[in-house]
Homo-oligomer: A and B are copies of this chain.
Amino acid sequence: MTDKTALTPATHTAPPARFSHGVKKGSILQVAGQVGFLPHEEGRAPTPAGPTLREQTLQTLANVKAVLEEGGAGWDDVMMIRVYLTDVDHFAEMNEVYDAYFAEQGLTGPPAARTTVYVGLPAGLLVEIDALAVLG
């Protein structure tokens, strides 16, 4: 029996429902859908890093990374990244930000697989990202 543990970075606001920002069990680590909220400050409602796709994408990736690190993992362990955008016209810019971000992360192995689709998100949010990692 391997225990499932919750991954809750100190930077994160409490989830709006009964779910975990991330969970780890055995070699599998799953990061919940993250959005571009700034690190939590006591008494402040969840606040996006800014109105732009660039700001939100970078913050969202930082939030995913925080969950990975809480579980002792990093981007090199990630197998799949799911990117949810609200507008097909955001694809090129998201890719630019995404590529520049990962160029700076110093991955030692190949990048994760990815699926990008265009969905509805809560007002003000332009991007949501989740990730599946395999450790060890």
Q: How far is the CB of A89 from chain B (nearest CB, A)?
A: 10
Is A106 close to B, CB under 8 A?
no
Complex contact A5–B110 (CB within 8 A): yes
Q: A26-B27, A84-B117, A136-B26 are in contact. Are A102 and B21 (CB under 8 A)?
A: no
Most B-side CB within 10 Å, residue of A5, A23, A76, A81: A23
Count contacts on A: residues with CB < 8 A to the other chain. 58
Q: A2-B136, A23-B79, A136-B1 are in contact. Are A111 and B28 (CB under 8 A)?
A: no
Contact of A117 among B3, B79, B121 (CB under 8 A): B121
Complex contact A118–B118 (CB within 8 A): no
Q: How far is the CB of A87 from chain B (nearest CB, A)?
A: 8
- Complex Cα gap A84–B118 (Å): 10
Complex contact B110–A20 (CB within 8 A): yes
- Complex Cα gap A84–B120 (Å): 10
